[in-house]
């Protein structure tokens, strides 16, 4: 038994073994894996083994592509059979909406560099002869997908890790994790204690329990997942794998027979009150009643299945998550990392995931943008098992469904309500949800003022309302009031706060009290980790405002860098303050009528903050904008929220004030070229690439994180560019390919229709050689390439005259 190691990985499934393999491969030999039973005795041994690569985002897909790259060569490298079969995969469309989805995915694949081709139903059948073509409109064929033997893969990874000096301890159960002063010190096992710097929780469905040992909440929810295996019946051996999302089923060949599984509409959670401590090398009892609808669907697509002899109905638990993505990365306890919740993609993902985790642990940042998978994305509501279960059930049951852009999840709502909620309901708010908050997308009461003829074509017009254009116009022409209470608000307090923030932020934030700074927080590679505003409230107090969904993430990033001397405190004050944004040319007139504070440009300039009274309501007013108009964000203690909303609405009545929602903000910000973190700018993009160099102060007295890397990256080879499409009604959804002379040169980050400029706008990273205004490009939208042009940005008010008026 080892008593000391640099890293202890807990869990000997495919996830843990891949992390161990990569840590060793990248040069860390002093690494140990601890498994309570035998390797591959958790979810891994009963996996169906399909490896598909195409996911909805670049980084997720890249991770899967890295898996395939590893799986191709692993067998040879470690001299152990993995069963890798690069047979390709077929995804069928048997409804019009799924056909459109395939066209969209084909476009993504082009930008991700995946060899995916659309084929006819008959071509698909040639590749997968037992399928029926009935109702099939077409298929996508991805040639480099495949399948393998999950247990063999795990053993091969373990062998590769051992060959490089890693240690594997089986039959060793982790019983405790020692945390002192917020940092991991050791792992307790039933065979003794192992001192270590880093613990990785790769416990699969037990990740929640292992996390609890370190007081870290890991919201995985085990779900039972089933597939049948048939007796060999002479089927072709190397058929591609097959998915039919309309029928909710998937298939692969198995020694001349078939494996067929799927995602039921009535999923079955497992072990919610704790997974039995001896649940290893075990399956659940076959549940034919639950599987029957899937089996029927499977026989519709593969009629021969009805006659096939079923060898086994495999029913095994797998770790799912409330949003269907992996849970990866560090936690609020220093040195405690999580790699779990693989949502039935753990075999496909592990090769790339292990590499990403190892790079992250060794180098301090992952090689890819990990926002969607980041362990810090879940809010405190996910500590409720019931809430996490509700969400996970919805995600599982709708896994294969087409989700139109703007699709909103319904389970567990409403949860977090802003104080003016009833007023918003009264105005016919159409609500969306983010971070548990109910947020207005648009108001039905504004529909009549909008123009239905502006509905975007196709998918972009599915979840849309004429009210969006009406609210946009009101904001540009008179004024609009937006409830932004859900914004995440953090406070950084203490004698060391100014110095700490100067070290974290690329912009200068240690300015006189009452000043607002817009800034990025970079990682050591110069990528943008956070994008937010910092307001100095007093000498030793700063207020950070960041996106609704980013609060936990940004808080964690700041917390991870806090000085050890206790001179800085961090606090999430989101729930304490309501926030309303009053923006538009009439906003000063409206607000001035409610306050004695002089709101003139001289007395209350752009990017400053003041404590003011609005009627009887005490507010912190920030003169900032995310729409490119004159205006203020007003923060008041939550209990004053309704009164503030009422006062502003009443005073604005005669000035043409309209309530507005987030869809209008999106269109307004696009015209003004304001970036959104997570899509336009990510941890893999530098501020210079994102066109945010104006907010970077290289000459600050206090060097900030990422400065060294940015010094070398001042002249980027690619940049975020603004495009306008030739067709105004054709609107991008994100991740569309951009071509120049038929060559793929970039992909769209975000876009939409600008109701003032009357153009369809798209942002995309393009090589420096293609950035010149007037450059003609083409954007691939649902299989069609639409002409577009690179234009100078921003499209609206480039001199900032309205913002500073």
Ligand X SMILES: Cc1cc2nc3c(=O)[nH]c(=O)nc-3n(C[C@H](O)[C@H](O)[C@H](O)COP(=O)(O)OP(=O)(O)OC[C@H]3O[C@@H](n4cnc5c(N)ncnc54)[C@H](O)[C@@H]3O)c2cc1C
Q: Which of 21, 147, 206, 250 is catalytic?
A: 250
Question: In this complex, which beta carbon is closest to ligand X, that of residue 225 or of residue 473?
Answer: 225
Q: How far apart are CA 70 and CA 65, in angstroms?
A: 9
Least CB distance to ligand X at residue 103 (A): 25
In this structure, what token pair is assigned to residue 425? 């309901």
- Contact with ligand X (CB under 6 A) among 5, 7, 16, 198: 16
Question: In this complex, which beta carbon is closest to ligand X, that of residue 313 or of residue 493?
Answer: 313
**Cβ pair 540, 494 in contact under 8 A:** yes
250 is catalytic: yes
Q: Which of residues 223-252 bind ligand X (CB under 6 A)?
A: 225, 227
Q: Which of 217, 225, 472, 577 is catalytic?
A: 225
Question: In this complex, which beta carbon is closest to ligand X, that of residue 268 or of residue 493?
Answer: 268
Decide: is 177 part of the binding site for ligand X (CB under 6 A): no
Nearest to 184 by CA among 333, 392, 15: 333
Q: Which of 145, 149, 531, 680 is catalytic?
A: 531
In sequence order, the β-bridge partners of residue 320 are 221
Helix (H) or strand (E) holding 774, with range, is none
Decide: is 44 part of the binding site for ligand X (CB under 6 A): yes
Point out which span in 8-16, 155-163, 330-338, 713-721 binds ligand X (CB under 6 A): 8-16
- Contact with ligand X (CB under 6 A) among 322, 330, 346, 628: 346
3-state secondary structure of 294: helix
3-state secondary structure of 28: coil
531 is catalytic: yes
Decide: is 46 part of the binding site for ligand X (CB under 6 A): yes
Least CB distance to ligand X at residue 67 (A): 9
**Cβ pair 560, 330 in contact under 8 A:** yes
Decide: is 347 part of the binding site for ligand X (CB under 6 A): yes
Point out which span in 343-351, 431-439, 725-733, 774-782 binds ligand X (CB under 6 A): 343-351
Instruction: Please list, in sequence order, all residues whose beta carbon lies within 8 angstroms of the beta carbon of residue 113, skipping any fewer than 6 positions away.
Output: 65
Q: How far apart are CA 214 and CA 220, in angstroms?
A: 16
3-state secondary structure of 306: helix
Point out which span in 311-319, 377-385, 397-405, 703-711 binds ligand X (CB under 6 A): 311-319
Question: In this complex, which beta carbon is closest to ligand X, that of residue 208 or of residue 588?
Answer: 208
Question: In this complex, which beta carbon is closest to ligand X, that of residue 316 or of residue 659?
Answer: 316
Instruction: Please list, in sequence order, all residues whose beta carbon lies within 8 angstroms of the beta carbon of residue 600, skipping any fewer than 6 positions away.
Output: none
Question: In this complex, which beta carbon is closest to ligand X, that of residue 61 or of residue 533?
Answer: 61
- Contact with ligand X (CB under 6 A) among 228, 348, 358, 497: 348
Least CB distance to ligand X at residue 343 (A): 7
Point out which span in 44-52, 287-295, 694-702, 741-749 binds ligand X (CB under 6 A): 44-52
Decide: is 345 part of the binding site for ligand X (CB under 6 A): yes
145 is catalytic: no
Decide: is 50 part of the binding site for ligand X (CB under 6 A): yes
Decide: is 302 part of the binding site for ligand X (CB under 6 A): no
3-state secondary structure of 453: helix
Least CB distance to ligand X at residue 291 (A): 11
3-state secondary structure of 18: helix
For helices 346-363 and 14-25, give the axis angle rounded to 10 degrees.
Answer: 40
Q: Which of residues 458-497 bind ligand X (CB under 6 A)?
A: none
Point out which span in 341-349, 435-443, 703-711, 718-726 binds ligand X (CB under 6 A): 341-349
Least CB distance to ligand X at residue 552 (A): 23
Enter the DSSP assignment of 87. -
Instruction: Report DSSP letters for 245-268, one per residue.
Output: GGGTEEEEEETTEEEEEE--SS-E
In this structure, what token pair is assigned to residue 659? 């309530």
Q: How far apart are CA 669 and CA 674, in angstroms?
A: 5
Nearest to 108 by CA among 720, 745, 736: 736
The residue ranges of DSSP E strands in 453-608, in sequence order, are 479-483, 488-493, 516-522, 528-538, 541-546, 569-572, 577-583
Nearest to 166 by CA among 298, 7, 58: 7
3-state secondary structure of 344: coil
Point out which span in 37-45, 395-403, 743-751, 782-790 binds ligand X (CB under 6 A): 37-45
Which residue ranges make up the site for ligand X (CB under 6 A)? 10-16, 34-37, 41-44, 46-50, 150, 173-174, 202-206, 210, 225, 227, 280, 314, 316, 318, 340, 342, 344-348
**Catalytic residue ranges:** 225, 250, 531
């Amino acid at each position: 038994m080892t008593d000391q190691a640099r890293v202890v990985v807990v869990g000997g499934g495919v996830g843990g073994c891949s992390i161990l393999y990569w840590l060793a491969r990248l040069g860390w030999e002093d690494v140990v894996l601890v498994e309570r039973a035998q390797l591959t005795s958790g979810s891994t041994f009963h996996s169906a083994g399909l490896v598909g690569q195409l996911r909805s985002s670049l980084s997720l897909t890249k991770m899967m592509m890295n898996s395939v790259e590893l799986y191709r060569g692993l067998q040879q490298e470690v001299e152990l059979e993995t069963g890798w079969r690069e047979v390709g995969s077929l995804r069928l469309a048997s409804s019009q909406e799924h056909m459109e989805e395939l066209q969209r995915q084909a476009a993504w694949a082009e930008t991700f560099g995946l060899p995916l081709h659309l084929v006819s139903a008959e071509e698909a059948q040639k590749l997968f002869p037992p399928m029926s073509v009935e109702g099939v409109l077409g298929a996508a064929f991805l040639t480099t997908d495949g399948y393998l033997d999950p247990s063999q893969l795990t053993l091969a990874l373990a062998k590769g890790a051992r060959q490089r000096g890693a240690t594997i301890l089986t039959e060793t159960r982790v019983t405790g994790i020692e945390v002192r002063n917020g940092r991991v010190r050791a792992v307790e096992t039933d065979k003794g204690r192992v001192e270590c710097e880093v613990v990785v929780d790769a416990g699969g469905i037990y990740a929640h329990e292992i996390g609890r040992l370190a007081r870290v909440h890991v919201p995985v929810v085990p779900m039972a997942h089933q597939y049948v295996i048939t007796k060999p019946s002479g089927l072709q051996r190397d058929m591609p794998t097959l998915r039919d999302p309309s029928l909710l089923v998937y298939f692969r060949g198995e020694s001349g027979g078939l494996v067929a599984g799927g995602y039921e509409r009535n999923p079955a959670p497992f072990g919610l009150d704790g997974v039995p401590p001896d649940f290893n090398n075990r399956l659940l009892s076959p549940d034919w009643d639950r599987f029957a609808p899937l089996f029927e669907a499977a026989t519709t697509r593969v009629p021969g299945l009805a006659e096939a002899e079923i060898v086994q109905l495999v029913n095994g638990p797998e770790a799912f998550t409330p949003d269907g993505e992996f849970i990866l990365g560090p936690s609020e306890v220093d040195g405690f990392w999580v790699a779990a919740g693989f949502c039935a993609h753990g075999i496909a993902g592990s090769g790339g995931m292990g590499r990403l985790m190892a790079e992250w642990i060794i180098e301090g940042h992952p090689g890819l943008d990990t926002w969607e998978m980041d362990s810090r994305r879940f809010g405190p509501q996910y500590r409720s098992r019931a809430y996490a279960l509700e969400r996970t059930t919805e995600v599982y049951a709708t896994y294969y469904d087409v989700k139109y852009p703007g699709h909103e999840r319904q389970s567990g709502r409403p949860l977090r309500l802003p104080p003016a909620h009833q007023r918003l309901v009264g105005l016919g708010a159409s609500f969306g949800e983010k971070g548990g908050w109910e947020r207005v997308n648009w108001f039905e009461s504004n529909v009549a003022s909008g123009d239905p003829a502006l509905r975007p074509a196709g998918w972009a017009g599915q979840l849309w309302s004429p009210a969006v254009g009406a609210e946009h116009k009101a904001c540009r022409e008179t004024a609009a009031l937006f409830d932004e209470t859900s914004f995440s608000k953090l406070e950084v307090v203490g004698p060391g706060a100014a110095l700490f923030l100067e070290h974290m932020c690329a912009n200068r934030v240690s300015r006189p009290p009452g000043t607002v700074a817009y800034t990025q927080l970079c990682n050591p590679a110069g990528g943008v980790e956070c994008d937010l505003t910092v307001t100095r409230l007093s000498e030793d107090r700063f207020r950070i405002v960041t996106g609704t969904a980013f609060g936990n993430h940004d808080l964690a990033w700041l917390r991870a860098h806090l000085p050890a001397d206790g001179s800085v405190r961090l606090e999430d004050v989101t729930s304490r303050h309501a926030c309303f944004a009053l923006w538009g040319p009439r906003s000063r007139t409206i607000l001035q009528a409610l306050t004695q504070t002089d709101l003139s440009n001289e007395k209350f300039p752009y990017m400053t903050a003041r404590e003011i009274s609005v009627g009887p309501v005490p507010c912190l007013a920030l003169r900032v904008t995310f729409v490119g108009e004159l205006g203020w964000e007003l923060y008041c203690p939550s209990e004053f929220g309704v009164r503030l909303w009422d006062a502003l609405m009443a005073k604005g009545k005669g000035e043409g004030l309209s309530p507005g929602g987030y869809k209008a903000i999106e269109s307004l910000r696009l015209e003004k070229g304001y970036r959104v973190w997570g899509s336009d700018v990510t941890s893999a993009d530098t501020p210079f690439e994102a066109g945010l160099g104006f907010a970077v102060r290289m000459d600050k007295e206090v060097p900030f994180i990422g400065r060294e890397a940015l010094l070398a990256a001042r002249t980027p080879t690619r940049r975020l560019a603004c495009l306008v499409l030739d067709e105004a009604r054709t609107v991008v959804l994100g991740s569309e390919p951009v071509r120049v002379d038929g060559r793929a040169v970039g992909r769209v980050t975000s876009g939409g229709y600008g109701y003032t400029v009357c153009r369809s706008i798209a942002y995309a990273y393009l090589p420096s050689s293609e950035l010149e205004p007037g450059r003609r490009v083409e954007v691939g939208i649902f299989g069609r390439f639409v002409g577009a042009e690179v234009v100078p940005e921003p499209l609206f008010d480039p001199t900032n005259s309205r913002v500073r008026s």
